[in-house]
Homo-oligomer: A and B are copies of this chain.
């Protein structure tokens, strides 16, 4: 199951902290104790603890130990590379996805620029609305290079596209760049979402890269103002 020892340790503790069986302020065993407990070396334990620290689960204090952080973070979408499906499941909300469009289209000049295409070749386009507790709040517009995603079934689009890409197509997704801004609503937004009278909308542009650094997906996630929230955890770089 867990090929790597450090991943095993990381998974053990992140699960315990998320589930609440380890609560804020509690002290973890020392690195030497963990190394012995897992039958590994201290550096391997340290790698796991470093990841827990990077992801906001614990905090390490020299001379004292590692401590669980107060972490009811991640209130809503878009932190890290977490998918909408993962987040809504975690929240246990009543969520529905409506697929408006799921087809191969010639790319417009704007999409070609976003995907860094030389010519206006075809792209696979998916347009979906996310309905949360009866209101259509988020509009997701996805564009994929047809080289990697020649087509997508309605089932894949309705469930999780990422699940399909990673588990079926085995695309090695590596990293993403996200840009958040606020823009004026478009007629399309008004038509496809329950926007009330808001004149602006939060736009999250997502550029997704494979491990060979090719850009293969561009996504525009358009959120109704009042329902948008983004949570971020950051560590100050030490000197």
Contacts and interface: CB of A to CB of B under 8 A. Distances in A.
Interface of A: 7, 25, 43, 54, 56, 59, 61, 67, 69, 73, 75, 79-81, 173-182, 198-200, 202, 211-213, 225-226, 228-237, 239
The 6 closest A-B pairs by CB, nearest first: A180-B230, A178-B232, A182-B225, A81-B236, A175-B235, A81-B234
A53 B173 CA distance: 15
Contacts of A202: 182
14 contacts: A59-B175, A59-B213, A80-B237, A81-B236, A174-B235, A174-B236, A175-B235, A178-B231, A178-B233, A179-B230, A179-B231, A179-B232, A182-B228, A199-B199
A94 B67 CA distance: 43
Nearest to A229: B181
Count of this chain's copies in the oligomeric assembly? 2
Given A73-B177, A175-B233, A178-B232, 8 more contacts: A59-B175, A174-B235, A174-B236, A175-B235, A178-B233, A179-B230, A180-B180, A182-B182
Contacts of A179: 75, 229-232
Given A182-B226, A213-B67, A234 B61 contact: no
A206 to B, nearest CB: 9
A177 B236 CA distance: 11
A61 B211 contact: yes
B177 A200 contact: no
Contacts of A211: 59, 61
